[in-house]
Structures are given as structure tokens and as C-alpha cells.
Structure 1
Amino acid sequence: MTSLQAFHKIKDLQDRDKIAKQKIYQEQVDRFESVATELYEALKEKENAEEKFHEELRETKVRAQNFILHEQYIDQLNKKILNLQPRVQQARSVMETAHDNLSSAHIEVKKFEKLIEKKLTQHEDWLKAEESKAMDEVSTRQYLNYKNR
């Protein structure tokens, strides 16, 4: 049974590792969500600005200076969006790596759980076999003692 205790200790170690990887994964998910939300808001802001400007064009006459200001604002938003896109991709990549690590840790824990379960089953089978041998021996002795009388 000492090997079983060793397997339990290893499983506990793997559990702690899995919990640590869950925390890292959750942090990466939160980081990805914040960067992705920032990108979404920039895209939405650009869309709203363009829509508002097109409404202004339809309803009233727009001065040339407003065109220039609008183009500068849209260019600024485009630069922000172009800056955010690689950050979102990087955050997604890091999050996916953390997810893969978490999956691996989960698999390792499951392996040790199955191994412990298998060892327990083997031990129970061994105990049953030993009990059966002992019962056979007792039965044989009783039979021989009865015959010798």
C-alpha cells in the first residue's frame, strides 16, 4: 500500500499544478476579454463616427474643415484598431496556450486517478484471493479433522 500512498501524493501534486494552471488560464481569458473589448469598442466608435458623418452629409452642407477633422479622427481610430489587432491575436494565442496547458494538467490528474483506482481494484482482488485461499485451507482442515475421528 506504500506505492498507493505515493500515487496519492503525486496526484495531489498534479492537482495543485492543475489549480495553478486554472488560475493562469482565467487570468489569460480576462486579459483577452479586456483587449478584445477594447478593440470592439474602437471598431464600434469608428462605425458610429462614420454613420454620424454620413447623416450630416445627407442632412446639411458640411464645411471642408469638418471633412478634414473627420478624416483625421477616422485615421486615428484606424491606427488604434491596427495597434489593437495584433494585441488581440497575441492575447488569444497566450490564452489558447494556457488552455492547452490546463487540458494537459487535467489529463495528468485523470491518469493518476485511474492508476489509483486500478491499484485499489488489484489490491481488493488480491485480498479476495487470499481470503479464498484461507477459506479453502480451513475447509480442508475441517474435512480432514472430521474424517480422522
Structure 2
Amino acid sequence: MSYQFRYESVLSIKEKEKDQVRQEYIHSVDHFEQAATQLYELLRKKEQLEQEHEQALSKGLTVLHIKQIQHYRKNLEKSIDQSQNKVSTARQAMQIKEFELHKSDVEVKKYSKLKERDRTHYQFLIKQEEAKVMDEAALRQFTNQKFR
């Protein structure tokens, strides 16, 4: 009599779902990291632009050059705003996937725990059956000795 967990198929499905959600979470983390890196690069460019602008102002600039810098700064700030929105969206998606991963992990743990309890109960029943068989054998042996 071999042990067969009655919810084995459900457990395997839940484990596959968990693996899929884990892959989606990893993908969302990568997407978030890319968006955050892009934002960091834009902010670094803006900081460098401001430093260069201050140095150039101390040396003296033409009006045309100042206008070009302001135009570039406006475009950079627009890009930064868009990038911040992307980072925020990617963070939210990542947090949702993290929650889903946690939820699927809990589901798998529930079925694993159920399987563990069921196996323990099965082993207990097997030991009880073995003890019963041993008691019957001992009783037969005792009665055979008594009637000889």
C-alpha cells in the first residue's frame, strides 16, 4: 500500500503558478531597474548641465547660448517627468507582482503543509495496522503454545 496524496495535482498546479508568478515578478523588477537607471541618468545629466551652466556664467555667455541651455533644460525636465512616471508605474507593477508572488507562495505552503499532515496521518495508520498485525500474531502464538 503506497502513499498517494489526494491533492497532488492541485499542489503541482499551484507550484507551476508560483513559478510563473516568480518569473513575472523577476521581469517586473528588471523593468523597474531599467526605468530607475534611466531616471538616474537623466538626473545626472541635469546636474552636470547645471554645473556647466554655472561655470559658463562665471566666464560669460551669449544670450543665444543661454537660450539654448534653457531649452535643453526644459526638454531634460520633461524627460525627467516622463521617466519619473515610468518609474512610479514600474514600481506599482512590481509591488503588485510581489504581492501575487507572496499570495501564491502561501497557497503552495498550505498544500505542502496539508500533504505533510496527510503523510504523517498515513504513517500513523500504517504503524497502527502493523501493531494490530503483531498483536494478532502474538495472540496466535500464545494460543498455539497454550493448546499444545
TM-score for both structures, normalised by structure 1? 0.91
Match of 2:30 in 1: 30
Deviations 1:10-34 (A, max 9, x none): 1110111011111111121121111
Q: Distance in 2 between matches of 1:144 and 1:46?
A: 98
Match of 2:78 in 1: 79
Q: Distance in 2 between matches of 1:53 and 1:82?
A: 21
Q: Residue 105 of structure 2 aligns to which amino acid in structure 1?
A: H
Q: Distance in 1 between matches of 2:22 and 2:138?
A: 57
Match of 2:47 in 1: 47
Deviations 1:19-66 (A, max 9, x none): 1111111121121111111111111110011111111222x1111222
Q: Distance in 2 between matches of 1:123 and 1:3?
A: 7
Q: Structure 2, unaligned stretches of length 5 or more?
A: none
Larger CA deviation: 133-142 vs 89-98: 133-142
Match of 1:16 in 2: 16
Match of 1:56 in 2: 56
Q: Distance in 1 between matches of 2:31 and 2:130?
A: 59
Q: Distance in 1 between matches of 2:10 and 2:54?
A: 65
Q: Residue 131 of structure 1 aligns to which amino acid in structure 2?
A: E
Q: Distance in 1 between matches of 2:141 and 2:82?
A: 89
- What is the Cα deviation at residue 6 of structure 1? 3.3
Structure having the higher helix fraction is 1
Match of 1:91 in 2: 90
**Count of aligned residue pairs for this structure pair:** 148
Q: Residue 56 of structure 2 aligns to which amino acid in structure 1?
A: E
The 4+ residue runs of structure 1 with deviation greater than 4 A are none
- What is the Cα deviation at residue 91 of structure 1? 0.8
- What is the Cα deviation at residue 2 of structure 1? 9.7
Q: Structure 1, unaligned stretches of length 5 or more?
A: none
The verdict on how the C-alpha distance between 1:37 and 1:18 changes in structure 2, with shifts beyond 3 A counting, is: same
TM-score for both structures, normalised by structure 2? 0.92
- What is the Cα deviation at residue 9 of structure 1? 1.1
Q: Residue 72 of structure 2 aligns to which amino acid in structure 1?
A: Y
Identity %: 32
> How much is the aligned-residue C-alpha RMSD, in angstroms?
1.8
Q: Distance in 2 between matches of 1:116 and 1:4?
A: 10
The verdict on how the C-alpha distance between 1:11 and 1:38 changes in structure 2, with shifts beyond 3 A counting, is: same
- What is the Cα deviation at residue 70 of structure 1? 1.2
